[in-house]
Amino acid sequence: MKDIYKKIAYRIVQILVVILIAAVAYFYLQLAITGHLDRDYLAMYNEIISNPIATAINVLMLMVFVITLIALIGDYWWGIAGSISLFAIMIFVDYQKIVSRSEPLLPSDLIMAKQVGGLIQMVNWLSIVELILFIALMLAAAYFLRKFTKKMWLTKHRIIWPLRVVVAIVGIWAFVFFFQCGNTNSLAYKQLTDLEIYNDNHNPLNVYRSDGTVIGFAFNVRSDPMKRPNGYSEKAIAKIANRYRIADAEKANIGKQPANIIYILNESLTNPRTTSDQYPLQEDSPLSYIDNILQNPQANQASGYMVSPEYGGGTANIEFEANTGFSNYFLKSIPYQDILPKKAYFPSVMHYLENYGYHSDAYHPFAGAMYQRPQAYQALGIHQFKDQKRLKGLQKSKFGEYYTDSSTYPNIYPQQKKAKQLSLVITMQNHMPYITNVGSQSDYQLEDPIKNNTDKTNKMQTYLQELHQSDQAFSKLVDHFKNSDQKTLIVMYGDHYPGDGLYDDLASDILTVHATPFVMVANFPLSNHQYGYFSPNYMSLLMLQQLGYPLTPFYNLLDQLHQQVPVLTKAIQMDDSGNQYTNSHYKKPKWQKSQAYRDYQMVEYDMTYGKGYANKYHMFTVSK
């Protein structure tokens, strides 16, 4: 009789352990998306219980996950250890993404698992070791608990097969059903909205924080990658193509056609002068050369600030906009991974310039497979891609983990021997993580420690030193082409602010932490010298206008949109009067009602997830 009571008590303990693990996992998942795992626990507890319905759903789904994994593995303690390990990995990734990019773990990130080798280089190795040790500890605990509770097991030390099958099927079905909630036509979506739990397509982090990580993740599993615009059809696209087809090619001033166009995305490039109030330096700006262009462009220079759609990461998304003219504002995907690999052709500035005799190559001193660049570049019309394995003379500085700009740029010098080259360069020098123990050796010291945080201060000083080296490398690149017999235009912009928690104190100043330097330098006079603020989807348009190239119907459409809303990103939008809009603004601004905005949205849908009618109606070729 005592054995029966012991087994009943053991089953109750097993159930309580599952509930406890789900509740603790949810608590730490919510902590992770604040970017502070050591945050006031009581404050987090109060925040969680303030939304009891959402909390109950999150914890319930985590319990279902644990029970399903136990059923699939066929052993209680191995299932518990596996669940805790997976939850720990989720918490770790969520925390790392929030610190580096202010963005939670999304379903689309799972595609990046194939590129884990490159991703690991971007995370502090000590954190990874700690995670591995924790998982090893969980597995060891499971091993000993199995031995300790052996007398309590069911027949043949396993859960009975029929029960396992039923539990696994029910659990999998529950997740399949729940993960439909991103589809606005699904029953799961309707049930959540009945409970006043809503999705926010433009800011998933808001949902993760207010309604829980599990619900936030589920909303993004089956959500439409881009909403189909009302009235989308072949006839509608044909009308748009005709609307922006202007027969003015013969009037275009293309006498300035350069033989070399160098198009540089400079990793995590910022201008410390714009944040000097919060982070004053003892010395002058580490960005002395680029800053001079930003403040006072000369006859052969132009400058402005590119407002990035990302923060701390997402380089390929900025690159997509700069190369194609399309915006991530409408998309819930990573185009380089989700769209371009499926396309044999995708409109780009490379394809446009190919019509004028240009040959396009790409250079990136890192793992070439990241973001599926080889497939994406092929669709964009890039003929040759050289990653770190094919680039020559690459070197690292003592302040960084990645190859320097100064050792990357010489790889494009041989292009001078060829006619009409576009060189796309994606640098890596300024990429996180930033080495703490060399920060004190930086030539650029902060006047005061950041909130008495020595590690963060040293990271910032390391970053500033890397910026200086990047600035000097760019200056040498310009000097190299200054006296070239071939006309050369160099376009360079920063993709986003650095991650690794450097500027998290400025998170509320959205424009500041999304605006990065943009400069043009040529060895001939330029016509436009000031660009103000703009988002990267206008980058190729501005470059072609600077060179006097005729515009395609698509670029004419983009030009009209630029005049109405020069900044179009999910984080922030800015209209022609300088008014700023964020996702906290629910009133529809006038530019969202404009013809150009509606046409742009429809053309983007057509070329990304639609039928591609715009190409059929010559939206991307010059009218003659």
Per residue in 275-321, pLDDT (tens digit) is: 988 899 887 889 999 999 999 999 999 999 999 999 888 899 999 99
Q: Which of 163, 195, 219 marks a domain boundary?
A: 219
- Tracing tokens 């770790």 back to the chain, one arrives at 92
Same domain, 159 and 264: no
- Single out the residue in 511, 533, 555 at which a domain terminates: 533
On average, the pLDDT of the chain sits at 88
Q: Report the C-alpha gap between 375 and 390 in whole angstroms.
A: 17
Residues 41 and 135 in one domain: yes
* pLDDT tens-digit series, residues 146-202: 887 766 665 554 557 778 888 889 999 998 998 888 777 788 888 888 888 887 665
Same domain, 70 and 208: yes
Name the nearest CA neighbour of 536 among 521, 558, 557: 558
Indicate whether 246 belongs to any domain: no
Asked if residue 471 is part of any domain, the answer here is yes
**For range 90-115, the mean pLDDT:** 73
- Residues 27 and 119 both lie in one domain: yes
> 530-560, pLDDT tens digit by residue?
999 999 999 999 999 999 999 999 999 999 9
Report the number of distinct structural domains present in the chain.
2
Q: Which residues contact 183 (CB under 8 A, 6 or more apart)?
A: 189, 222, 223, 224
Maximum mean pLDDT: which of 1-10, 130-139, 596-605: 596-605
Mean pLDDT for 237-255 is: 74
Whether residue 185 is found in the same domain as residue 269 = no
Q: How far is 191 from 196, CA to CA, in rounded Å?
A: 9
Output the pTM of the full model. Answer: 0.82
Span 321-355, pLDDT tens digits:
999 999 999 998 889 988 999 999 999 999 999 99
**Mean per-residue pLDDT, 239-268:** 79
Q: How far apart are the first and last CA of the chain?
A: 94
439 domain residue, yes or no: yes
Q: Is residue 155 part of a domain?
A: yes
Is-contact 571 311, C-beta < 8 A?
A: yes
Tell me: do 261 and 213 sit in the same domain. no
Residues 207 and 279 in one domain: no
Last residue of a domain, one of 533, 549, 570: 533
Asked if residues 404 and 430 have their Cβ atoms less than 8 Å apart, the reply is no
Sign of CA dihedral 37, 43, 46, 50: negative
> Could you tell me if residue 383 is inside a domain?
no
The verdict on 406 and 529 lying in the same domain is yes
Provide the domain limits for residue 451: 257-302+341-360+390-533
Q: Is the pLDDT of residue 569 over 50?
A: yes
Query: Is residue 369 domain-resident?
Result: no
- Whether residues 277 and 173 share a domain: the answer is no
CATH code of residue 286: 3.40.720.10
Residues contacting residue 157 through CB under 8 Å, at least 6 positions apart: 75, 150
Q: Is the peptide bond before 258 cis (omega within 30 degrees of 0)?
A: no
Together in a domain, 181 and 71: yes
Provide the β-strand partners of residue 426: 265
